[in-house]
Amino acid sequence: MGSLHDIRRDYAGDPLPGDPMAIDPWRFFAAWVSQAVQAGEPEATAMTLATIGGDLRPSSRIVLLKEYSPRGLVFFSDYDSHKGRDLTANPVAAASFWWPGTMRQVRAVGPVSRLPRPESEAYFAKRPRASQLEAWASRQSEPLRRRADLRDAVGAAQERFKGAQVPCRPSWGGYVIDVDTFEFWQGLPGRLHDRIVCRLTEHGWRNERLQP
């Protein structure tokens, strides 16, 4: 097998604020997302979502962040998918963002709940029709014997909703991560990276700098 020992990159970012308590986590997160988008980061809103199943085995996958506010981080999925089953068993998740262009990483952790149904339906109505049909055709995370079977299911959905709006499938909707922990990481030269963790307490956010 090949060795990856010699693959490395030095970082050259700007340090985080000197006083950790000067950070408002949600405003800071919003600024970093905006800067990642402006910097042309590919898939700047993509995040690695980590969950834990009922068997206590972890899983992770890339999903797209669709909304953020002090309420939490919002993403959408099929409730019957692998991640959906994990979140039913253990309604907590960790989301990680990595932006190589700006040499930044964010980690967000917290309990997860389903988005109110009217909000899921409103978002679904804005999706491209092809995506709406796919949501009806696919039984996400279930075995697929042939690709042709999926195409047939899409065709059946097209026929079913021909000439009509595609409603939001009952098993499809949004989730919101109610973030109680943020960690902001900035790559710096010599591996002297800068890290600030923000934890939500009953008295508000408490922030501290961590060693690299």
Residue 141 marked in a binding site: yes
Q: Is 9 annotated as a binding residue?
A: yes
Report the alpha-carbon distance of residue 192 to residue 11 in Å, rounded: 9
Residue entry with tokens 């952790």: 109
Q: Which residue has the tokens 């042709």?
A: 148
Confidence tier at 144 by pLDDT (50, 70, 90):
confident
Q: d(Cα 82, Cα 21) in Å, to the nearest integer?
A: 38
pLDDT at 7 over 90: no
Ligand-binding site membership of 66 (annotated): yes
Residue 150 marked in a binding site: no
State pLDDT tens for residues 45-82: 999 999 999 999 999 999 999 999 999 999 999 999 99
Q: Please enumerate in sequence order all residues whose Cβ is within 8 A of that of 137, keeping only pairs 6 or more positions apart, or say none.
A: 150, 153, 154, 156, 157
Average pLDDT, the chain: 96
Nearest Cα residue to 47 out of 84, 73, 28: 73
Structure tokens at 169: 């499938």
Residues 65, 75 contacting (CB under 8 angstroms): yes
Cα–Cα distance list, 70 to 107, 178, 211 (Å): 15, 8, 27
- Is 64 labelled a binding residue? yes
- For the question of residue 71 being annotated catalytic, the response is no
Which pTM does this prediction carry?
A: 0.93
Spatial separation of the C-alpha atoms in residues 179 and 199, rounded to whole Å: 9
If one counts every other C-beta atom within 10 angstroms of the C-beta of residue 79, the result is 19
Cα 155 from Cα 148, distance rounded (Å)? 10
Nearest to 180 by CA among 74, 72, 33, 83: 72
Q: Which of 117, 129, 191, 206 is catalytic?
A: 191
Query: Does 8 appear as a known binding residue?
Result: yes
How is the chain split into domains, by residue range?
10-209
What CA–CA distance (Å, rounded) separates 180 from 71? Answer: 11
pLDDT per position as a tens digit, 19-41: 999 999 999 999 999 999 999 99
CATH node for 10-209:
2.30.110.10
